[in-house]
Amino acid sequence: MTQSKYKARSPVQQRGIESREKIIEAARALFSEKGYHSANALEIAARAGLATGTFYSYFNNKKEVLIEIIRTFYKETVEDVFAVSLLEINDARPSIIGKTEGRKLVHYMIETLFTAHSLNPELHREILAMILLDPEIAEINRQEEGKVIAYLSALLGRYKDLIRVNDSEAAAHLVYRAADEVIHRVRFFDAQIDGTRLLSELEEMMCRYLLREDE
Amino acid sequence: MTQSKYKARSPVQQRGIESREKIIEAARALFSEKGYHSANALEIAARAGLATGTFYSYFNNKKEVLIEIIRTFYKETVEDVFAVSLLEINDARPSIIGKTEGRKLVHYMIETLFTAHSLNPELHREILAMILLDPEIAEINRQEEGKVIAYLSALLGRYKDLIRVNDSEAAAHLVYRAADEVIHRVRFFDAQIDGTRLLSELEEMMCRYLLREDE
Amino acid sequence: MTQSKYKARSPVQQRGIESREKIIEAARALFSEKGYHSANALEIAARAGLATGTFYSYFNNKKEVLIEIIRTFYKETVEDVFAVSLLEINDARPSIIGKTEGRKLVHYMIETLFTAHSLNPELHREILAMILLDPEIAEINRQEEGKVIAYLSALLGRYKDLIRVNDSEAAAHLVYRAADEVIHRVRFFDAQIDGTRLLSELEEMMCRYLLREDE
Amino acid sequence: MTQSKYKARSPVQQRGIESREKIIEAARALFSEKGYHSANALEIAARAGLATGTFYSYFNNKKEVLIEIIRTFYKETVEDVFAVSLLEINDARPSIIGKTEGRKLVHYMIETLFTAHSLNPELHREILAMILLDPEIAEINRQEEGKVIAYLSALLGRYKDLIRVNDSEAAAHLVYRAADEVIHRVRFFDAQIDGTRLLSELEEMMCRYLLREDE
DNA sequence: GATGAATGAGCATTCATTCAT
DNA sequence: GATGAATGAATGCTCATTCAT
């Protein structure tokens, strides 16, 4: 928390850039395997094949690595997956829209979120917990999440003929939140109920909520 | 984690029962104020006006207190609030139903969950995080949550004329999950979007999902 | 520096009081032997025959022990030595005064300061350095030193017939400062010049400054 | 402490000389600002706009820089100031002496020391502390201080008609020590007593001690 | 000459848990 | 039953110094 006397440096040489990368990779692996709280700087450095001090050359503390990982996580998983998937729907597969099959659109959205959750479920869970525990992480997440919601919002706005929501921004939030949470539960916990049934109901709920009756 | 050599005892004398109660109260206060991870046995005992050793007379570790608190939490907040509220709807206010105003029913459900979240938001957030971090806590939560979902499921089943879901169990899960998550976000984070708009959309989504067209 | 979550506790049981005492003694010994900066908590605890944690039960950090030692140091050495010596001059040996031998008074003062410096020279040196390096220690020292200077000031005021200073408070400061410093140099460093000559000149300076011509 | 395997080199090229100079300046600034102990090689190098390794090209460790700074400090501040001031008194202003105003001489001495202390008080304080903590620094200081005292001693010897000390070498030591210490206190600490009063008494003490009655 | 990446021993501090009283 | 003293492993972080480029 305290501002360190030694600020973490940014590597300029190739070797430094590689070391920083190794640390992030090692941290990502450890956070997934044993959780953020159980991993420590010594261990992360060792896993990266570096000394403890090297860790602190590039990061002031464990949390800074987590933040970096979260940003990368959103970039690599949610954001990219989303952008690509939605572009596909939009541009590469105009046929979907042509058929006015809004239900397929909903299915795609849920599937995409599910894929994003599946890339590294354990790490995802750790991040979700940290969002609850640390306001700084919460803020980072809010920023990153905002981009995803913006995609959704734009998407909902684009298909006005299919979708009947009034407040498309609030709807995007709602859809993201609800879907994310339900998918998360299905993904992590052997729910009291069969996951397939839950996802199926989720799709049903989304359709009833989002799509025009006459579709 | 490891089972202690000395098992925590159950108090039999009045004094012992009071000490145990004091510890739980102190822990609840501290978990709310500074979070589960930042609180420690010494501090909890001090807050309870007891010695460190006394803490370990009644609990083998901090987690055991948390589990006790979670059970009580569900009893005192979610479960009770739910049961009472829904009974009111059902029995004490048959007029609501008489009007076939399913929308009011939905509104009530959301309001009830919101109330439950408002009783001790900080503690609630800590518990949510622990559910993600600790499988044992997750299991405890699953059990307790199951009761709430059972209420919802029964409720949905009772108003078949109002409600059009096929799989009322899955629907109860879905409704609980989605509402809980959205409310939680609205409650804790200054979302990118106004909370009122989000709750309003949530109600709209639930209505469209749950209620028959002809209501 | 930061306020600890765990505040250092005050021992209530006899055993605890003894442990705290042992830590102070061990610290005093180590600070003398190898200096404040070179000693560390682990070492101090070990020397006291206790675990590291026990050190932190009674002190939040090394500096707190130093402060305690400084206070005790002033109590045990300077203050007491001074009070006793000066009382002796004053009450038990009125003959000195009767002879109007102010020179003996000055000699006593210097001798007393020299004795104070001799009780634990190494520790004294460490403390002097810390006064220069740490404002908090400087303040503690200022307070304690103030008492000694008050004694001197009172003494100077009492023998107005012998002593010709106008501003006895400033004079007390001056005398203390100058004598303390010179003695310190003589005590610690093999000065470029023989210590005896320096002390002799110090006495001469003090006499010329303090005593009436006609003494 | 340990002699390094690689000896620090002496710069021969212009560029090297400049680098060395930059390091000394950066160190001086940092030692003043945050103290000798809190400054470190990395920081010093960064401040000098150089790489860490460059620091170790010219100095084997931090202490070597301090020693260099102390020598320069004495050269630039105390020694020069002294020499110049006293020469002024002696050669350029024979009128002062002609008036047999020894009091002015004393005033000049004190003023000169005060000026020396004022050039970089924080650095001065750090050096004083290091003298107490490190025998090697103490020895360096002894040597440099010796020159100042030699000036004083010579000065005292030159005005035998004004000054009545027997042992002018011891007197020079004494005067330097006492004045230095008192001035230091006035300069650094808001003494319990007003600085002006103390300096005034200091001058009075010096006059009574040094000057002949019939002046 | 200069760079900055890497090292790793070293130290301060925390806290879950035990146990003698 | 209650107390609070004691433990010591664990961990975050620093920084003087080396060395490959």
Q: What is the pLDDT of residues A44-84, one digit of tens each?
A: 999 999 999 999 999 999 999 999 999 998 887 766 666 66
Q: Which residues pair with D163 in a beta bridge?
A: D211
Smallest CA–CA distance, residue C84 to chain D, in Å, is 24
Q: Which nucleotide is nearest to A49 (CA to C1')?
A: E6
- Which residues of chain A does B129 touch, with a Cβ-Cβ cutoff of 8 Å? 129, 132-133
pLDDT digits (tens, 9 = 90+) for A131-148: 999 999 999 998 888 888
- pLDDT of B137 higher than 90: yes
Give CA–CA dist A183/A198, Å, rounded. 9
Give CA–CA dist C177/C202, Å, rounded. 12
- State residue B80's pLDDT score: 67
Residues 6+ apart with CB under 8 A from B165: A201, B156, B171, B209, B210
Q: Which chains touch D (3 or more CB pairs under 8 A)?
A: A, C
Highest averaged pLDDT of the listed ranges A192-206, C87-101, C106-120, C196-210: C196-210
Give CA–CA dist A52/B13, Å, rounded. 53
- pLDDT of B1 higher than 60: no
Q: Strand, coil or helix: what is B211?
A: strand
CB of D42 less than 8 A from some CB of A = yes
- State residue B78's pLDDT score: 65
pLDDT digits (tens, 9 = 90+) for B12-69: 677 778 899 999 999 999 999 999 999 999 999 999 999 999 999 999 999 999 999 9
- State residue D80's pLDDT score: 67
- pLDDT of D69 higher than 90: yes
- pLDDT of C1 higher than 50: no
pLDDT digits (tens, 9 = 90+) for B116-133: 888 888 898 999 999 999
Residue of D nearest to C194 (CA): D170
Q: How many CB atoms lie within 10 A of CB B5?
A: 6
* Fold annotation for B63-210: Tetracycline Repressor; domain 2 (1.10.357)
Smallest CA–CA distance, residue A129 to chain B, in Å, is 5
Give CA–CA dist B115/A84, Å, rounded. 40
The phi and psi torsions of B161 (rounded to 5 degrees) equal: -70, -25
**CB-based contact B177:A178 (threshold 8 Å):** yes
Residue whose entry in the numeric block shows the structure tokens 């020894």: D102
Interatomic distance A20 CA / E9 C1' (Å): 23
**Does the CB of B7 sit below 7 A from strand E?**
no
- pLDDT of C88 higher than 50: yes
- State residue D107's pLDDT score: 87
> Which tops the pLDDT comparison, C90 or D173?
D173
Interatomic distance D132 CA / E17 C1' (Å): 44
Give CA–CA dist D149/D174, Å, rounded. 9
- Which residues of chain D does A11 touch, with a Cβ-Cβ cutoff of 8 Å? none
- State residue B85's pLDDT score: 62
Work out the average pLDDT over C137-151.
88
Residues 6+ apart with CB under 8 A from D207: D102, D103, D106
Highest averaged pLDDT of the listed ranges D23-37, D146-160, D161-175: D23-37
Is residue A147 classed exposed, middle or buried when 0-12, 13-18 and 19+ CB atoms within 10 A define those classes? middle
**Percentage of chain D exceeding pLDDT 90:** 38
Instruction: Determine whether the interchain pair C169/D138 forms a contact, defined as Cβ–Cβ distance below 8 Å.
Output: no
pLDDT category at C161 given cuts 50, 70, 90 is: confident
pLDDT digits (tens, 9 = 90+) for D99-132: 456 788 888 888 888 888 888 888 989 999 999 9
For residue A125, what are its two tokens?
A: 């869970």
Q: Strand, coil or helix: what is D163?
A: strand
pLDDT category at B98 given cuts 50, 70, 90 is: very low
Smallest CA–CA distance, residue D10 to chain C, in Å, is 31
Segments making up each domain of chain B, as ranges: 14-58, 63-210
Q: A130, A118, A146, A15: which is closest to A64 by C-alpha?
A: A130
For residue B136, what are its two tokens?
A: 């044992």
pLDDT digits (tens, 9 = 90+) for A146-166: 888 888 888 888 888 888 888
- State residue A100's pLDDT score: 53
- pLDDT of B91 higher than 70: no
Work out the average pLDDT over D151-162.
82
Highest averaged pLDDT of the listed ranges A7-11, B133-137, D211-215: B133-137
Work out the average pLDDT over D192-204.
86
DSSP symbols for A125-142: HHHHHHHHH-HHHHHHHH
Residues 6+ apart with CB under 8 A from A145: A74, A176
- pLDDT of B4 higher than 50: no
Give CA–CA dist B104/C57, Å, rounded. 59
- State residue D110's pLDDT score: 85
Interatomic distance A7 CA / F16 C1' (Å): 17
Q: C83's torsion region: left (phi>0), alpha (psi -120 to 50) or beta?
A: alpha
Instruction: Determine whether the interchain pair C129/D133 forms a contact, defined as Cβ–Cβ distance below 8 Å.
Output: yes
Integer angstrom CA distances of residue B199 from B117, B206, B207: 14, 10, 12
Residue of A130, A205, A210 best to disrupt the B interface, most CBs of B under 10 A: A205
Give chain D's radius of gyration (CA, Å): 20
The kind and range of the H/E element at C22 are helix C14-34
Residue of D nearest to C132 (CA): D129
DSSP symbols for chain A: -PPPSSPPPPP-SHHHHHHHHHHHHHHHHHHHHH-TTT--HHHHHHHTT--HHHHHHH-SSHHHHHHHHHHHHIIIIIIHHHHHHHHIIIII-HHHHHTT-HHHHHHHHHHHHHHHHHSSHHHHHHHHHHHHH-HHHHHHHHHHHHHHHHHHHHHHHHTTTTB--S-HHHHHHHHHHHHHHHHHHHHHS--SS-HHHHHHHHHHHHHHHHB-TT-
For residue D64, what are its two tokens?
A: 């070597």
CA dihedral D132, D133, D137, D142 (to 10 degrees): 20
pLDDT category at D48 given cuts 50, 70, 90 is: very high
pLDDT digits (tens, 9 = 90+) for B111-120: 888 888 888 8
Residues 6+ apart with CB under 8 A from C130: C36, C66, C137
Work out the average pLDDT over D135-163.
86
Give chain C's radius of gyration (CA, Å): 20
Polymer length in residues for chain C: 215
- State residue B73's pLDDT score: 83
Residue with nearest Cα to nucleotide F17 C1': D56
Give CA–CA dist C116/C81, Å, rounded. 7
- State residue B93's pLDDT score: 47
Give CA–CA dist A132/D213, Å, rounded. 83
CA dihedral C29, C30, C34, C35 (to 10 degrees): -90
Interchain touch B–D (≥3 Cβ pairs closer than 8 Å): no
- State residue C5's pLDDT score: 47
pLDDT category at B193 given cuts 50, 70, 90 is: confident
Residue with nearest Cα to nucleotide F20 C1': A15
Residues 58-117 of B with CB under 7 A from strand F: none
pLDDT category at A89 given cuts 50, 70, 90 is: low
Q: Which nucleotide is nearest to B55 (CA to C1')?
A: F2
- pLDDT of A190 higher than 80: no
> Which tops the pLDDT comparison, C140 or C77?
C140
- State residue D7's pLDDT score: 64
- Cα–chain-centroid distance for residue C80? 10
Q: Does the domain made of D14-58 have the CATH classification 1.10.10.60?
A: yes
Residues 56-95 of C with CB under 7 A from strand E: 56-57, 60-62
Polymer length in residues for chain A: 215
Give CA–CA dist A43/A61, Å, rounded. 13
**Does the CB of B31 sit below 7 A from strand E?**
no
Give chain B's radius of gyration (CA, Å): 20
**Average pLDDT of every residue of chain D:** 82
* Predicted TM-score (pTM) of this structure: 0.86
Give CA–CA dist A133/A137, Å, rounded. 8
pLDDT category at C215 given cuts 50, 70, 90 is: very low
Q: Strand, coil or helix: what is C160?
A: coil
Integer angstrom CA distances of residue C26 from A47, B20, C31, C65: 40, 40, 9, 10
> Which tops the pLDDT comparison, C100 or A15?
A15
Residues 6+ apart with CB under 8 A from C117: C124, C180, C183, C184, C187
> Which tops the pLDDT comparison, D184 or B29?
B29
- pLDDT of A108 higher than 60: yes
- pLDDT of A98 higher than 60: no
Give CA–CA dist C109/C154, Å, rounded. 13
Q: Which residues pair with C163 in a beta bridge?
A: C211
Residues 6+ apart with CB under 8 A from B30: B39, B43, B44, B47
Q: Note the strand F nucleotides within 7 A of protein beta carbons.
A: 1-20
